[in-house]
Each structure stands twice: as C-alpha cells, then as structure tokens.
Amino acid sequence: MPPSDATRDNDYLGRLRDYYAEARRIPSHQRIAALMGFASKTAARKLLSRLEVAGFVARTPDDDAWMPTEHFFERPLADFAVRAGAPDMIDGMGGEPFLVDRYLVKQPSRTVMVPVKGDSMIEAGIHEGDIAVVERTKAAKAGDFVIAIVDNEFTLKELILEKGKFVLKPHNPAYPVIRPQGQLEIFGVVTGLARRYSA
C-alpha cells in the first residue's frame, strides 16, 4: 500500500528540518526538488504551499523567501514517561507537539544560554559542557541555582542562607562555600539545563 500524502509530507518536512539544521535557511525550489527527488520545481512549490497551510513555513515580510514558523521547530513529545528504574513496555510514540524553546525559555529577551565549565556542581547533576538556561529578571531566592559574579568572575552555585547572609554553595566537596565579603551580585537564575550526550 503506497504511503498517504500526509505521510509523504511528514517525511519531506523531516528532510527540510534536517537541511535547515545545517544550513539555517529554507532552500530554493530547485534545491528542494533535488532533496526530495521531485521531477520539477513545481512540485517543490506545491510542497511549500501545503506546508504553509499546515503552519510550518511562511513567507518573509517582504515576500521574497520562505521562513520557518515556530511550529516548524516542534518535536513530538511522547505520551508516556520513561522509568529510570524497572523497564516499561512502550506501546507507541504518539504525543503532543513539543517546542524545546517554549519549554525552557519563558522570557526570551531576558534569557541567555551559558556554557558550564568545571565540576563544582557535579553532585547537583550539572556537568562541564552543559548549557545553563539563565533568566536575568527572576528574583533569586535561597535554594536557587544562580550565576553570580565573584571577584569579577562568573560562577554557578546554589544560593543559600547562612547566618542571615547569602552565600554560594558548590555541589562538590572538593570546593569550598563562597562567602562574599561585600554585596553579592547575581547575574541570573538558572531555570533549565541542556545536555548533549553524543556528537
């Protein structure tokens, strides 16, 4: 039984997303035809029109090119949670669309992504090479992981209260608690973490 139009378009969309991840642009009609194995640019134009109706792409404001919409970057979110203990049977992978940026970033204009260096937070599950999602507007409170400025350098630690004063606690016994002598300057609060396990 041949695949349906919807199945084929889903496959084409996947190829287009892979291309965009590498090139950071929607390709030309000619390039799309080559990527998808179309016989003509007309088929590429029709595909983009269908993806526009589905909400994945749109015309640029000056109408001279195609651009991805937010919907383009959604990934499928499985409708089950995976156990970290005993294995579960997995019946299917269907689920609601999931946008990583929407999940991790609440205020885009106030959010920066900060690479983590060192191992002072390793027992909190924060490793070198991770990317910390840092919100600069959120008021810091005891128990938050924060990016603080100490001696003109940035450091990621847990903000805790000690004898009525805020100090910075590492999560590695090899590092001491940082007790600033003057006013503690908070750059932002860590609201999330991104980690890649393979190259």
Delineate the domains of the chain, giving CATH numbers in brackets.
Answer: 1-104 (1.10.10.10), 108-194 (2.10.109.10)
Our answer to whether residue 120 is catalytic in this structure is yes
The predicted structure's pLDDT at residue 1 = 41
Q: What is the pLDDT of residues 112-151, one digit of tens each?
A: 999 999 999 999 999 999 999 999 866 899 999 999 988 7
pTM of the model: 0.66
User: Of 4, 28, 49, 157, which one is the catalytic site residue?
Assistant: 157
* Axis-axis angle for helices 29-36, 5-23 (nearest 10): 120
Q: What is the pLDDT of residues 57-108, one digit of tens each?
A: 999 998 889 999 998 988 776 666 556 655 555 555 556 778 888 888 888 7
Distance CA(50)–CA(43), nearest Å, equals 11
Task: Please tell me the least confidently modeled range out of 47-51, 110-114, 115-119, 181-185.
Answer: 181-185
Which residue, among 134, 153, 154, has the nearest Cα to 145 in the 3D structure? Answer: 134
Location of structure tokens 């005993």:
86
Give the start-end residues of each E strand in the chain.
57-59, 66-68, 75-76, 97-98, 111-115, 131-135, 145-150, 153-162, 165-169, 185-194
The predicted structure's pLDDT at residue 68 = 93
User: Of 120, 138, 163, 198, which one is the catalytic site residue?
Assistant: 120
Distance CA(196)–CA(76), nearest Å, equals 18
Contact predicate 157/189, CB 8 Å = no
